Amino acid sequence: MVKVYYNQDINSSLEGKKVAVIGYGSQGHAHAQNLKDTGHNVVVGVRKGKSWDQAEQDGLEVKTVRDAAEEADIVMVLLPDERQTQVYEEEIKPGLRAGKSLVFAHGFNVHFNQIVPPADVDVFLVAPKGPGHLVRRTFESGAGVPALYAVYQDQSGHAEETALAYAKGIGSARAGVLKTTFKEETETDLFGEQAVLCGGLTSLVKAGFETLVEAGYQPELAYFECLHELKLIVDLMYEDGMSGMRYSISDTAQWGDFVSGPRVVDEDTKKRMKDILTDIQNGKFAKGWLLENQLNRPEFTAIANRENEHQIEKVGRELRSMMPFVKAGKEKQKEVVAS
């Protein structure tokens, strides 16, 4: 097995270094607060507005992106991927003096050549393998979200130690930290979210829901069956793998899993997954996403609006309003309603 780093394996520290967390969204608020709680010197870099006010309210030092990048030794870029290049060129790059570290939580912009860092800084990534709100929530509960790290440029000769110390600082070394490359992190992260975690999952849930509703079954029941119960099943897989989950379900369910699962996801599905991976590897996906943003997201907005009005969402909103207990942490989650 490859080396997985845990707290006790990491002796390096960020002592004497100031960390600028640029952006205070999903990942930003979690990194900034976790690093502060583990005794680090943190400044948040954002523009005036909601994030600025929130970071101040959370007791953090807040400055403009330009000032934070200027005064910090380690600059962690936690802005939306599609905004990073512009903010980097205008507000981060001017403060990147020799010897500093430029850090990312996803390799997208460096790997796809949108950000070309100067040669005299360390460049690495620390990418938690989980949503930002859980990076904070698990940290607060004494646990952590695993992370990947990768070194792109090691000017100081210490980039790897700094990356590991950073991962420890956000609590990820409680769960396990794994070494990768910018290429591997970028491609696998995009593939995972497209084919399995987000795209594959939402399409699977919708198809199941629609199949039941179109056959005349109650939409509320279809919601419970295809969406609500998913978390309970996934929790079992998270805790104990697929066998652990199968141990808890009935043998009837397990037999159905064995004989029908491969009819839903078959060799053709896998072939299409390979096509998706190819489009990630050859840059086609990245190009499309960057162009979509340059055009002010016409297709993204249209699809987001349509998805938000899908029957499963309408039914779900009603049912969840009667289950306040499922909303833990919801107030912190970012608005997903497209404008």
Which residues belong to the active site? 106
Kindly tell me which residue out of 189, 209, 227, 245 binds Mg ion, with binding defined by CB under 5 A: 189
Q: Are strands 101-104 and 74-77 parallel, antiparallel or unpaired?
A: parallel
Nearest Cα neighbor of 165 from 196, 122, 199 is 122
Burial class for 86, CB neighbours closer than 10 Å (0-12, 13-18, 19+): exposed
| 127 DSSP assignment | E
Binding site for ligand NDP (CB under 6 A): 23-28, 46-47, 49-51, 65, 78-81, 83, 87, 105-106, 127-128, 131-132, 334
CA distances for 317 relative to 218, 220, 271, 321, 323, angstroms = 16, 11, 35, 6, 10
- Minimum distance of Mg ion from residue 22's CB (angstroms): 17
H-state helical runs in 5-154: 26-37, 50-57, 65-71, 81-87, 108-111, 132-140
- Give the angle subtended at the CA of 27 by the CAs of 322 and 87, to the nearest 5°: 125
Minimum distance between the CB of residue 205 and ligand NDP, rounded to whole angstroms? 20
Q: Is 81 in the site for Mg ion (CB under 5 A)?
A: no
Measured CA to CA, the distance from residue 3 to residue 1 in angstroms comes to: 7
Q: Taking CB under 5 A as the rule, which mask of x and - marks residues 239-268 in contact with Mg ion?
A: ------------------------------
| Contact of 61 with 71, CB cutoff 8 Å | no
Distance CA 106, CA 149 (A): 10
Q: Note the residues at the interface with Mg ion (CB under 5 A).
A: 189, 193
